[in-house]
Amino acid sequence: MAPTASNTTSSSAIDPREKKLDVPGQHKAAIFDKKGGPVSVRTVPVARELKHGEALVRVIYSGVCHTDLHAMLGDWPLDNKLPLVGGHEGAGVVVALGEGAEEFVKIGDRVGIKWIADSCLKCDFCRRGFEPNCPEAQCSGFTVDGSFQQYAVSYARHLSPIPDSLPLDQAAPILCAGVTVYKALKEAQLTPGQFVAIPGAGGGLGHLAVQYAVAAGYRVIAIDTGNDKRALAEKLGAETFIDFKTTKNLVEEIKQASGGLGPHAAVVAASGAAAYEQALDYIRSRGTLVAVGLPGGTDIKANVFFTVFRSLRIVGSYVGNRQDAVEALDIAARGKVRTSFKTLGLSELPKVYEDMNSGKIAGRIVLDIDK
Ligand code: 8ID
Ligand code: ZN
């Protein structure tokens, strides 16, 4: 597949399909039955019964996150539902409500299905705004079926309202990639003018991280590989791009690009283990490593002496809460951040996974769920 070009084709924010609120008996869903796949698109019945607090969402677009690929390959130390409909960057409209759901959304609302499908909202974590860490949390496209289907059942209280001015295709990748990097940059605790390194800068999360960082006034050192990802990161405002495959000395180049001392933080948005290897060497003393990318079976090797002596911080950052989603979408709706994406049909998901696995996708692929 040709690398993703920046997509600026959404002419109107409202898709005509958003106005069709009828629910058919059958619909299309991309399903895999066992670890490792394959995934296939099938025609299956639409859920008829909605339980308390559930809403039926007519999904029009969904981004494809590398997490969906990890889930299908089964390379994480967690079990998911099987058979599974993946997808957790869904954008669409509410078409039916279970009892109690009307407290949170109404029919016709434009909403997003994010990774955290539900959390209890009552525990210590939820009360403090750490909804992803709730022991009861459900995950879209992992513990419950997700957004790679035309009609998805989700939990009304965790659906994200999508601003009217933001087209659904633009909005979809914000629901995981955008929220995640927006929150990760908060965890980096930077101030305007400071340097942040972003390994994985040309990918789905990374290209949005570059933009949220630039919007916050940080100076971005983008790390990824290939001319398309270089062009994308530079266009989005990265001050420096370092190709991790061709550089002779990554640590030295990054230090030089940040005044000799190294960046104040690294937000690691790469899906491969190698991106973690040198991050603790190139961040400056008192710097923060924010772990975001989730390569399976990977350890961060931190030398105790230098962690203390250089006063380094290592922080894990896991998606974001409902408020982070509202804020990340608002920034996108105001045009400060734009998803760079290519639209393909749901039926092309197997090929998207292939291309994602071989690192060919710059920015995001957004699926038109009807195609
Ligand atoms: O909550 C979370 N922490 C969270 C949320 C969503 C996604 C974590 N993730 C995880 C995914 O599961 C995945 O492991 O973040 C990772 C990145 O997801 P993505 O952005 O959806 O993947 P992508 O579009 O394939 O981009 C990955 C980029 O990493 C680059 C690749 O070239 C690609 O552009 N990359 C790799 I692989 N190794 C690199 C390295 N050593 C690297 N870039 C720099 N240095
Ligand atoms: Zn994701």
- Map out the domains of the chain as residue ranges: 4-175+320-368, 178-316
Which amino acid appears at position 345 of this protein?
G
Q: Model confidence at 2, in pLDDT bands (50, 70, 90)?
A: very low
* Burial (CB count <10 Å: 0-12, 13-18, 19+), residue 60: buried
Q: Of the ligands numbered here, which is closest to the C-alpha atom of 318?
A: 1
Pocket of ligand 1 (CB under 6 A): 65-67, 70, 176-177, 180, 199-200, 202-206, 223-225, 229, 244, 269-272, 274-275, 292-295, 317-319, 356, 359, 361
Q: What's the token pair of residue 105?
A: 């959304």
Which amino acid appears at position 304 of this protein?
V
Structural Rg of the chain based on CA atoms: 20
Please list the alpha-helical segments (H only) found in 82-203: 124-127, 168-171, 177-187
Name the residue at shortest CA distance from atom 37 of ligand 1. Answer: 272
Q: Mind listing the pLDDT tens digit for each residue in 57-116?
A: 999 999 999 999 999 999 999 999 999 999 999 999 999 999 999 999 999 999 999 999
Q: Which CATH class is domain 178-316?
A: alpha beta
Q: Mind listing the pLDDT tens digit for each residue in 275-294?
A: 998 999 999 999 999 999 99
Contact (CB, 8 A) for 198 and 209: yes
- Residue 9's pLDDT is 45
Dihedral angle of Cα 12, 177, 54, 145, to the nearest 10 degrees: 110
What's the average model confidence in pLDDT over 25-30?
Answer: 98
Count CA atoms within 13 Å of residue 144 on its CB side: 19
Q: Mind listing the pLDDT tens digit for each residue in 118-174?
A: 999 999 999 999 999 999 999 999 999 999 999 999 999 999 999 999 999 999 999
Give 225 Cα–ligand 1 centroid separation in angstroms.
12
pTM of the model: 0.96
> What share of residues in the chain are helix, strand, coil (percent, to 5)?
30, 25, 45
Q: Mind listing the pLDDT tens digit for each residue in 211-252?
A: 999 999 999 999 999 999 999 999 999 999 999 999 999 999
CATH tag, 4-175+320-368: 3.90.180.10
